[in-house]
Structure formats: structure tokens, C-alpha cells
Structure 1
Amino acid sequence: MEDKELFEEKLVEIEALIDSEKIVDLNEYIEEMHPADIAEMMVELPEEKMHKVFQVISWELAAKVLDELDSDMFSKILSLLTSEHKKKLLELMSLDNMVDILAELSEEKRLELINLLDAEDAEDIRELLVYDEDTAGGIMTTEFVSLRKDITIYNAIEHLREHAPDAETIYYVYVVDKNNRLSGVISLRELIVARPNALVEDIMSESIIYVNINDDQEEVARVVKKYDLLAIPVTDTNGRLRGIITFDDIMDVLEEEATEDIYKFAGTMEAEAELYEEDKISIRIFSSVKARLPWLIVTLFGGIMSATILSRYEDTLNSYAAVAFFMPLLTGMGGNVGTQSSTLTVRGLATGNVDAGKSLRTIFQEMSVGVCVGTICSLLVCAVAFFWMNNIRLGIVVGISMAANMITAATIGTVVPILFKKWGIDPAVASAPFISTALDITGITIYFTLTTLILLQA
């Protein structure tokens, strides 16, 4: 059965159980579902039925469902619950997920929910909200277990028994000194098999991969990916352990960054896609226009510049009209090569595979690719132009122009994102319009210069 069909079937079953007031059956049915699936169901249910679901499921499951919701649905569901119900669920939620949601709420709503928490959780939430949401501090959780390096293994295991239920993960436990500075890491397996009277510092590993609390989340994701970590500790500038970032949060970061780059590269924003959920079409239209127009204007002026350059070759066009037949082909092929090179470069810069400070190798590689594909395509188009127009000189002009245009496109498509990265400009958002404009101008200039020199001056 298709996933969509299964989803619809479960949704119908849940609504039927609610309508028939079979509370026990409803509870049993929902408790067997994954929290992410229940969260997806919530979006489709009317408010009174959402409320009913949260009344019958366990506290723990309800908190996990809230972890999966976006800020709008989170607020909507909490508005249906009593203060006592809200307080209990918030206490059971993951702190890092709660921070992500609270950061998107209004100041008034955020304070209202924080005031429902106990003093310790409220303080942790306030601390996490201080950090930029795109940094390690913004995505870390303070729900972790650390061990002092000067205690015995026996005491360490007792400490874990007491504090592990509230921790995000305990597969790896981080070791600190008396000043809470990160000193080492130890696996749960190593703890279990060690002698009870041994000290933690005797068996811990001092080779620790960690990130700073102010590091960008993309850098954190690169480190976790590089070393295949399930979690990574976060320290402040003094080396004190402040939190951990788990693999599930890194997956969210990778998806968020990839989605953001794709929208930017297309000259729009992710918020525009989200606006399609808005009921008012006027809001959707206005926001879409606002997101797209700046980059379209950049491209528009690029087109005007291309037209200005083309007007200077009016005599060439009048004397040799056949050259106009190949203009779309040349600019189109140049655009394709430029887009391919810029896409690979922007992606490489995002993942760290391309270093903006050591970019000569990347530029040389893409130029070489441009030479190879340009040579092959130029020979093909030269033959087509010759047999179609029965003019060898036209074929030579088109062929050379094709090769030169594709080499130029590969070079520009690589150099522009690297330069933007060096200048502190996001290459994903700015590369596409500038590259397309530059390629149109250079392509037309190359083509008509060669046409003038070879066809009209011969």
C-alpha cells in the first residue's frame, strides 16, 4: 500500500474512534504509532479532535509529538490545553527542540511558556535562546551527562543511573575537570567493562573532537560528518563544557542548509514556499514578488547591457543575418556550462570540499572541463553550421565562439562564487544572476568580435 493511502487510512480510523468515543481503543491505536506520524496527523485534524488526542495519549508520547511540530502547530495545540497540562508536557520535552520552537514565537508567547517551567529548565532555556540559532550554541542541548575525571568507575556508573533518564544520549559520556573544562570522552561500553575501583581519567580518551559555542552550524555539521560522530560536545572560549549536539540535530541542519541554498540559488527564499500555506492569496503574491524581484532586476539590467552591446554590431547583423541563427545556441550552451560549474563550486564551498583560500586547483579543473567539452561541442556545431549554411568560415566562427564561450562560462561559473565567498557574500544567493549576466555579455562579445574579424574583414 502506498504511504499516502496508509496515512489516509489511519487518519480515517482515528477520526472514527474519536467520533464513536472509543477512548481505550483510540489510546491503544495511537500509542502504537511513531510520534512523527502522529504529528503529521495533527495537521489534518480539527481542533476539537486534536484536543481529544492529547487528552487520551500518555504524557511522554504527547511531549514527543510536540517535539515534532512546527511553531504554528505547537502554539495551536498548546492553546487548547490547560496550564497544568502545558506545564507537564513542557517539562517532558527535549530542551533543544523547545528552544527551536520558542525562538519562532512572539516575545509575549515565549515568556508565557517559559514561566510555566521550573527554575532550572527556565534558566537553561533562557541561556540557549541567547545564542544565534545558526550557531552551535543555538542547536545544542544542555540535557547531557558529564563525569568528573577524578571519580571511580563505580561512582561514575551510579551517577549515570541517577542522571541518564534526563539525558539526550549516553552512548558517549564527556569527562570534565573540577572547573568543568572538557578533559576527555569515554564510551558506555568502556565504563561497563572497567574495574569498579579504577578512576575515570585512567580509561578516558583525551583525543576529543569538539566545537566552540559560537561556531556556525554548517561547520558543526561538517565536523560531525567528517568524524562519523553520534554526538559532539560544545565548549565555550574557556574550554568549559556547555552542551552537546546530537546526530538528529545535525540531520536537521544539513536539510535546512541544503534547502536554503537551493532556494537562494534559484533567486528566491524558503519563506516563499512556506507562504503557500497562507489562506490570503494577496499575502502570497506580495511576498513572492518581494522575494524574486531584486534578482530578476539584476538579470534585467544584464539583458539591457547585452542588448546595448548587440546594437553596436547592427552592421554585422545586417551584412550577415545568418549569424543570428546561432545566438540562442551559443548563449544557451554557455549558460548550461556556467550553471554546472557554479552549482558544483557553491556546493563545494558549502560542504568544505572547496576552500576559497586555496581555489586555484578548482578553477584549473573547471577550466580543463570547459576546454574538453568546448572542443567537442565546437567541432559538432562547426560541422552543423558548415553543412547547413554551406559556409566554412561561418562554421569556423561558430565553432571557435562555442569553445571560447564554454571555457569562459566554466571559468566564470567557478571564479564568481569563490570571490563572493572571499568577500563575505553568500555565493548561493548572488552567483546565479551575476553569472548569467556575465555570460550573456561575454558570449555576445566573443561571437560578434569573431564574426567581424573572420567573416566581414576577410
Structure 2
Amino acid sequence: MKNLVLQNNKKKLNQLIKKMHPYDILDELNTFTEDEKTRFYEMLDEKEVARIVAYLEPEDAASVIDNFELDSQQEIIDHMDLDDAADIFVHLENQDALIDTEENKDIKEILTYDEDEVGAHMSDAYITLPIDLDVKQATKKVIKEAGDIEDINHLYVIDENNQYAGVVELKTLIKAKEPLTVQDLIQQQPYVFVDDDIEDAVHKIQNYGLYAIAVLNRTFEIKGILTVDDAIEIYHEEALEDYEKLAALPDTQTKGFFKSAIKRLPWLLMLLVLSIPIALATSSFEEVIASVAVLALFQPLILDAGGDVATQTLAVTLRILNKDEKSALKNGTKELLSGALSGLLLGVAAAVVSYIISLQMGVFEPFNVALIVGISLTLTVIAGPFFALFIPVILNRFKIDPAVASGPFITTLIDVTSVFIYFGLATFFLGVI
């Protein structure tokens, strides 16, 4: 590929590229210099450029397209699926000159949808069949339009009012014979609306095992389809976003180290502020700590255990909550019972260890110290899953992204609770205050 670029052999390069997958092409392009990459794209037909840049990040794809003349940019966009074109379009330098053209009216419409709505991700790569066509007419229509469509396994049927009526599988159409019509072959299949939440649509594709799902407006006209390829990409992006929120980590993947540090700073300062309640809670038991210093030795154990269990439960809850709140609550019951059993076993082990250490240190009332450590650890480990389960569920009930109940925030809440449990029990059993 590189040799053909250096030889300026445009014909053979295009012949080779047509046989290669975009992933392999981009992998080999990593060995090119920037000038060689620019020359490579200039030598390709616009259709091949469109096929390749669709596999790039939208910003990178726009950078490639920006190097072409305006007419070529339009032709590249015309060869792309609607959803890919819309993602890239917003990053083009000449988007203002292109947006109001007749060719881009569909892109203009798709850009009106929010990123979390299905309409922002729908594709126009599908074939519709009028419901009154006979199988011969329908087959001719499919043959005529199939060249520009990647997958034609499912054909989308519209009635006389241009409303969605169902789907016809290609294999069913091929097997059918006259005098059957499209209406005789229709199968009912789930659909989504353009303003539905994209995560709900992804779960519907997953639950029904679909390759694609019809996207309708509120008058039941088909506006596009959402494919499983896009669903997988969206699911991956949502999972990554939830992971970043779980770690209270802003999006810094595409930024330099200085910008990353600056963008993370507000989050780190927020976590610093959240640690203040822990310090205040600990200071309120100053006399307890001063009187029985060994209690400070076991404080990290109490704080860490609750936070660790809470973070595990939070990860499980967020994963299941993405599918169904009832499933999250059902699974949450197991998490609570698991937390209770784990807390009991850990509490017994911690009590034995703390009793032995207290004896060796000559601590006054070692049995009470062991009792305090054991009960505190048990209650803390039980409290962790409780907070990590119900806080995300409550946020979800109020239509707030449950991922904002991230690990550091839940951990801080558990830490404050643990301090009050631990030193509260110490005050009760040892009667220090």
C-alpha cells in the first residue's frame, strides 16, 4: 500500500483498497508519515475515503475530509451512512457552508436530536416496501436498491398512510411466490421512537436479539433504523462513561497531560472537600481515641472494608440497573445477604485478631476492644451494600444518572457512617465519655 502511494499508482491503489477492510487499512496507515497519509487519501476515490474514515474517531475523520475541496467533501459525506456522517459533520471546518444544502437535509434533521436520543444515532441504510406490492414487484425493488445497502436481511414495510407496518425477512420474500403480497409476509417486530432514550433502545435490541430495529416518529412513520453495530458502540461508550463516573474521572482521554491535570483538578478538590466530614466526625471522638489509643490502630480496617464492599455492590448495581430496576433490586437482595454474611465472618475474624493484639499491647479491657472492632466491622460491611444499592436506585427513580453516585462519593458516605459506628460503640462499651 505504501509503495503504491510512493509510486503514485492511483489505479492499483484503489483496486487494492477495495479488497481490504478499513480496520486493516488504518492499521497499515499507522506506519505512514503525515504527508504520506495526506497523499494516500488524495489518491482514493471519494467512496473509498468515506468507507475508511467511518472507522476513525469523528474528529480525526473530519480532519481528513477537511483536506478536500468542498465538492469532494460533499461527495464523501454522500457515501456515508447517515449516523456516521452526522457524527463527523459537526467537526468539519466547512459545516456552515454544507449544512443548508439539499443533500444534507437528513443530517440537519439528525443533528436536532440530543445525543442520548435514538434519533441522533439512526441510520438511513434500509429498504422500505409498500404493503400492497406483490412478491415479484417487491423483489425487483430490493434488487434495484440493494447496491447501496450493507444489510438487506430485513425489509421494512410501510402501509398506504406511510406508517410502519412491520418487517419482511429477505429469505421469506425469496421463497414466496405469486399471488402473495408483502402484507402476507409481514412479521411484527419491536420498534423505538426517535426521542426514546438510546440506552433503552440498545437494551431492546439486546433483549430481542435483533440485528436492527426500526426508528419511528410519533406519527409512526419510519425515519431510520438503529443497527446492532451502532448499539454495541453506544453500549461500549456508555459503559466507559459509567466507569469514569464511578471513579469520579472526567473525560481526559484525548487531551494532553497538562489539560488532563487541569480538568481533573475540580474533581480532586471536590473529593478533598468530601474528606472533611470524615475528619470532623473523627475529631468529635477525640477523647475516646486519646483514652484508648489502640482504637486508632483498627480505624483504617473499619473504613476500608466498608468502602471496598460498597464499591463492589455499586458496580454490580449499575450494570444491572442499566437493564431493569426490578432486576437490580432482586439482585440487590442477594448483595445485602452476601454483605451480611461477609460482615459477620469478617467481624469474627477481626475480633479475634484485635483481641490478640490488645493482649500483647497490655490494653485495658481487651475483650471490649475486640467486641467493638468485631461489631463495627460487621455493621460497616452490612451498611456498604445498603448504600451502594439504594442510592443508585433512588437516583434512577428520579431520572438522575445513577452513575453519578460514584465510588468516591459512596465511599465517603460509608466512611462517615463507619466512624460514628466505630467510635459510638467505643463510647458505649468503654464508657470513656
What is aligned with 1:11? none
What is aligned with 1:182? 164
Residue 369 to residue 43, structure 1, CA distance change in 2 (3 Å)? same
> Is 1:248 equivalent to 2:229 in the alignment?
yes
CA distance in 1, matches of 2:199, 2:229: 14
Normalising by the residue count of structure 1, what TM-score does the alignment of the two structures yield? Answer: 0.87
Residue 226 to residue 179, structure 1, CA distance change in 2 (3 Å)? same
Residue 22 to residue 366, structure 1, CA distance change in 2 (3 Å)? same
Say whether the 8 Å CA contact 1:140–1:234 is kept in structure 2.
Answer: yes
> Is 1:210 equivalent to 2:191 in the alignment?
yes
CA distance in 2, matches of 1:437, 1:315: 23
Q: How does 1:228-247 map to 2 (within 5 A)?
A: 228-247=209-228
Normalising by the residue count of structure 2, what TM-score does the alignment of the two structures yield? Answer: 0.91
> Is 1:326 equivalent to 2:298 in the alignment?
yes
What is aligned with 1:222? 203
> Is 1:128 equivalent to 2:97 in the alignment?
no
Say whether the 8 Å CA contact 2:303–2:419 is kept in structure 1.
Answer: yes
Among 54, 74, 87, the alignment partner of 1:67 is 54
What is aligned with 2:273? 301
Among 285, 309, 326, the alignment partner of 2:261 is 285
Say whether the 8 Å CA contact 2:336–2:382 is kept in structure 1.
Answer: yes
CA distance in 1, matches of 2:309, 2:316: 11
Say whether the 8 Å CA contact 2:245–2:406 is kept in structure 1.
Answer: no
What is aligned with 2:89? 102
What is aligned with 1:378? 347
Among 313, 316, 319, the alignment partner of 1:341 is 313
CA distance in 1, matches of 2:8, 2:141: 45
What is aligned with 1:195? 177
Per-residue deviation, 1:32: 4.0
CA distance in 2, matches of 1:224, 1:319: 62
CA deviations 1:337-394 (Å, max 9, x no partner) are: 11111111122212x1434xx8654443322111110011111111111222222222
CA distance in 2, matches of 1:394, 1:125: 68
CA distance in 2, matches of 1:181, 1:28: 42
Say whether the 8 Å CA contact 2:391–2:405 is kept in structure 1.
Answer: no
Instruction: Name the amino acid aligned to 2:117.
Output: T
CA distance in 2, matches of 1:422, 1:354: 9
CA distance in 2, matches of 1:33, 1:142: 24
What is aligned with 1:265? 246
What is aligned with 2:72? 85
Secondary structure of the 2:214 match is strand
CA deviations 1:241-276 (Å, max 9, x no partner) are: 111111111111111111111111111222x11113
Per-residue deviation, 1:95: 1.9
Deviates more, 1:73-82 or 1:211-220: 73-82
CA deviations 1:184-215 (Å, max 9, x no partner) are: 2110000000013211111212x221011111
Q: How does 1:34-45 map to 2 (within 5 A)?
A: 34-42=21-29, 45=32
Instruction: Name the amino acid aligned to 2:120.
Output: G
Name stretches of at least 5 consecutive residues in structure 1 with no aligned partner: 1-13
CA distance in 2, matches of 1:346, 1:236: 30
Instruction: Name the amino acid aligned to 1:175.
Output: V
What is aligned with 2:40? 53
Residue 363 to residue 146, structure 1, CA distance change in 2 (3 Å)? same
CA deviations 1:393-437 (Å, max 9, x no partner) are: 221111111101100111111111112222332221233333122
> Is 1:418 equivalent to 2:393 in the alignment?
yes
Per-residue deviation, 1:72: 2.7
Residue 19 to residue 194, structure 1, CA distance change in 2 (3 Å)? closer
Residue 219 to residue 105, structure 1, CA distance change in 2 (3 Å)? farther
Size of the aligned set, in residue pairs, is 427
CA distance in 1, matches of 2:232, 2:199: 11
Say whether the 8 Å CA contact 1:35–1:61 is kept in structure 2.
Answer: no
Secondary structure of the 1:76 match is helix
What is aligned with 2:129? 147
Secondary structure of the 2:47 match is helix
Instruction: Name the amino acid aligned to 1:449.
Output: G
> Is 1:442 equivalent to 2:417 in the alignment?
yes
Instruction: Name the amino acid aligned to 2:174.
Output: I
CA deviations 1:1-48 (Å, max 9, x no partner) are: xxxxxxxxxxxxx44553454556655554443112323454664443
Say whether the 8 Å CA contact 1:382–1:396 is kept in structure 2.
Answer: yes
Say whether the 8 Å CA contact 1:51–1:81 is kept in structure 2.
Answer: no
Give the RMSD, CA atoms, in angstroms: 2.3
Instruction: Name the amino acid aligned to 1:348.
Output: I
Deviates more, 1:27-36 or 1:72-81: 27-36
Per-residue deviation, 1:59: 4.0
Residue 99 to residue 44, structure 1, CA distance change in 2 (3 Å)? farther
CA distance in 1, matches of 2:259, 2:30: 22
CA distance in 2, matches of 1:86, 1:210: 33
Say whether the 8 Å CA contact 2:213–2:226 is kept in structure 1.
Answer: yes
Secondary structure of the 1:425 match is coil
Secondary structure of the 2:129 match is strand
Per-residue deviation, 1:135: 1.2
Residue 44 to residue 101, structure 1, CA distance change in 2 (3 Å)? farther
Instruction: Name the amino acid aligned to 2:261.
Output: I
Per-residue deviation, 1:315: 1.5
Among 81, 97, 102, the alignment partner of 1:112 is 97
Per-residue deviation, 1:174: 1.2
CA distance in 1, matches of 2:15, 2:171: 35
> Is 1:310 equivalent to 2:286 in the alignment?
no
Secondary structure of the 1:185 match is strand
What is aligned with 1:5? none
Q: Where do 4+ consecutive residues of structure 1 move more than 6 Å?
A: none
Name stretches of at least 5 consecutive residues in structure 2 with no aligned partner: 360-365
CA distance in 1, matches of 2:150, 2:244: 32
Say whether the 8 Å CA contact 1:235–1:241 is kept in structure 2.
Answer: yes
Secondary structure of the 1:198 match is coil
CA distance in 1, matches of 2:305, 2:56: 44
Say whether the 8 Å CA contact 2:62–2:89 is kept in structure 1.
Answer: no
Residue 105 to residue 410, structure 1, CA distance change in 2 (3 Å)? same
